[in-house]
Amino acid sequence: MPWKECTWVSEREELVRQALAAKSSMSALCRAFGISRKTGYKWLRRYQAEGDQGLRDRSRRPQRSPARSSLEMEAKVSELRREQPTWGGRKIHHRLRLDGVEGVPAYSTITGILDRNGLLSSERRLHRDLQRFEAEQPNDLWQMDFKGHFQTGAGRCHPLTVLDDHSRFNLCLAACPNERAETVREALIGVFRCYGLPERMLMDNGSPWGSDWEHRHTWLTAWLIHLGITVGHGRPYHPQTQGKDERFHRTLKQDLLARYTDWLDLCQVQQAFDPYRHFYNHKRPHQAIGDLPPASRYKPSNRPFPDTLPAIEYETGDEVRKVQQQGRISFRGRELLVSKAFTGEPVALRAREDGVWNVYYCHQQVGRLDLRTPPPSCLV
């Protein structure tokens, strides 16, 4: 019979002892132990060459691996992973290629290198394919939001982020002391002077961009519209609308914020934000854009930031009204609520069909009025 599992070594020892004592032929011995003559002679040769150690099982791992990555490549992969502990095989592969490294191994090989060197996270996640939306050109759409605040030694930090939808280029990463409209406006002026104006901006329904219908717009969004930017709000309680900026927030937390906890003040945070923003835009491969850095797909807008706000002009035939206190206008014998954000500014009512009017502030429609409904009327 074949070797008994629990006595492999002892039976091999007995085979060798009897073979060396020449008590019977090797053929007879092999028949008695239930093995082939080839196997019997193998164990005899190993015993004669190595003694008792030769009778133990050897690893089936190849003694040579010609296709295995060089020690130099393993060192490069390991070094990059330690610098960026959230990166997997795919991102490391593309970063090394972008750095001009020759002979970069496949994603799976890099994953194996990470595993061998104890650098592979034990946490594995399954990802679902989601239907993706992407603006066609840079500056067609910017997404803006605040990352959740965190504490520093001098108070809270509220990171303000602005991301270009097409390229994923981060246009703003500002350590703000609060989430007030004045703070956002100051940060955006710097961004607009550097990169120009976008066509549209998307934000959520929280402060300082707006909330319910009555406060759908704030003086901050009114200022953006006056600059010629179309302002959009995401669906309430649906952060996926700004999924790209939300994903940037997660990346920022993994790559930077989770690695530091004892921030002294906003100045120290900004000193960390600035080089990280450059790294994210110019160095970090982004899987959603073919593993290229965002800067490779971004170019500044050809719409410069104006020194003064342009004059508001409407089409011939529009009914123009000045927004009074509390955000109201009078039209066709009715008092209508538009928005406090436009107080003191002219809005236009443009006939759409019999009894229905669209209401515009600058270029953007901000409501619709249906005079066919009984008063009191309000915009919808």
Residue with tokens 């436009």: 342
Q: How confident is the model at residue 215 (pLDDT cuts 50, 70, 90)?
A: low
DSSP reduced 3-state for 103:
coil
Mean pLDDT across the chain? 83
The torsion angles phi and psi of 266, rounded to 5 degrees, stand at -65, -30
Helices 37-50 and 8-21 sit at what angle, rounded to 10 degrees? 90
Residues 108-127: what's their mean pLDDT?
A: 63
Question: Where is pLDDT greater, at 153 or 52?
Answer: 153
Whether omega for the bond prior to residue 376 falls within 30 degrees of 0, making it cis, is: yes
pLDDT score for 139:
95
pLDDT score for 45:
86
pLDDT score for 73:
84
Contact 187, 157 (CB under 8 A): no
Residues 116-141: what's their mean pLDDT?
A: 62
Residue with tokens 């919808």: 380
pLDDT score for 238:
47
pLDDT score for 11:
78
DSSP 109: H
Residues 353-357: what's their mean pLDDT?
A: 83
Query: Cα separation of 83 and 89, whole Å?
Result: 14
Bridge partners of 373, per DSSP, are: none
Q: Quote the pTM value.
A: 0.67
Q: How confident is the model at residue 129 (pLDDT cuts 50, 70, 90)?
A: very low
